Amino acid sequence: MVPADPDAVNRRQYHPRIVLSDLRESWFIDRLRIPTRVVLAPMAGVSVQAFRRQGRRFGAGLVCSEMVSCAGIEHRNEKTLGYLRVAADEHPLAIQIFGSDPAVMADAARMVAAAGADLVDINFGCPVRKVTRTGAGATLLDDAGRAARIVEAVSNAVDVPVSVKMRRGLLDGSRTCLDVGPKLVEAGAATLTLHPRSAQQMYTGTADHALTSELVSLVDVPVIASGDVDTRARAQAVLATTGAAAVMVGRGAQGNPWALREIVDGDGREPTREEVVAELVLFIRETVRELGERRASGFLKKFYGWYLGRGRFPKPFKQELVVLSSTEEVERLLIAAAPGALPLLEQLEDELPAASEIVLGSLPISIYGGG
């Protein structure tokens, strides 16, 4: 039973720390109820609507868009990969924005909140040069004053909670996040996500969750632990040792929604070939609906390897799919390889809610890398 008072829930869960073993337990970000302790990460070139909706089906309590350029929103001239859509069945949803100007960020936040975001997430973690050279992303960790002004401007601009995703700092060994984090909370952040790698590390090495534990002890809002969480055992260990409210799953869920099911429910059985094909074909169809055939055809190629890898299908088969010129051809080859997927696919489509969408025709999704 979910307690009616989120403030009471937060007091119990974050002060003092308790060991959380049930990842299906709900929690709150301000007044926003999140139904499980697993958050699907924002990932550039990955976190389209089809990916987010699938994540919700497999147990993610909160899903996130890839980061959206505030400059692109302001100028309406950024080359886009797609238009932002919010479907009825992906709530609760965080839409992530990035930029360096507080006023521009505030205007962007108003737009994404109007689009249907339940949470406005600010990116202070992206290490990609195209972003950091503009003064955005992880660079803002070295400018605590500006970072706090951005959070304050965004939180004053919208009625939904504001979150911040950050890295430990720019350089290896940095502890900047421990100085900046409390200032962001004071400025209005309702939750923090920490990926305890440096921007310099990119995605190499390991995430230092001892730093996550220290951050938890410094702030009175829920902290989400990001980095190297790819199994239920790892998720439980991170929650138990850090006192974090939830874990964020990123690369482990690419082409592998079953990882989310294993983390949330403990169901570690490997999917059958038929289940893999059914999910992949559904993902293809939903992505084509969202992006159109031309853009979807190129976008989907990386997903074929992700879905069909892990020993599920032979490598030559994956290579065959990549060179096909249309998604219809890909779908035919997949069904021919696993005909038993058809009834599963029909069942999935019958159960899938209609995507009641709000479409902002002028709101671009960023082409840049994610944090």
Catalytic amino acids? 126
Instruction: Say how many CA atoms lie within 13 Å of 231 toward its Cβ.
Output: 5
Tell me which DSSP letter residue 256 carries. -
Tokens 């100085």 belong to: 179
Residue of 234, 282, 224 whose CA lies nearest to 257 = 282
Contact assessment for residue 76 and residue 362, using Cβ atoms and an 8 Å cutoff: yes
How far is residue 23's CA from residue 307's CA, in Å, rounded to a whole number? Answer: 25
Nearest C-alpha neighbor of 263 from the set 61, 12, 52, 18: 61
366 within 8 A of 74, measured Cβ to Cβ: no
How far, CA to CA in Å, does 316 sit from each of 106, 311, 312, 313? 49, 12, 12, 9
DSSP 8-state symbol, 2: -
Picking from 166, 176, 223, the residue whose alpha carbon sits closest to that of residue 14 is 223
**Which residues, at least 6 apart from 196, have a Cβ–Cβ distance to it below 8 Å?**
167, 168, 177, 207, 208, 209, 210, 211, 212, 227
d(Cα 201, Cα 66) in Å, to the nearest integer?
21
Q: Which helix (H) or strand (E) holds 165?
A: strand 162-169
What is each CA distance from 313 to 119, 279, 309, in whole angstroms?
A: 38, 14, 6
Q: 12: buried, middle or exposed (CB in 10 Å: 19+, 13-18, 0-12)?
A: exposed
Burial of residue 127, with CB atoms counted within 10 A of its CB: 0-12 exposed, 13-18 middle, 19 or more buried: buried
Alpha helices (runs of H) in 118-266, residue ranges in sequence order: 129-132, 144-157, 176-187, 209-218, 232-242, 258-265
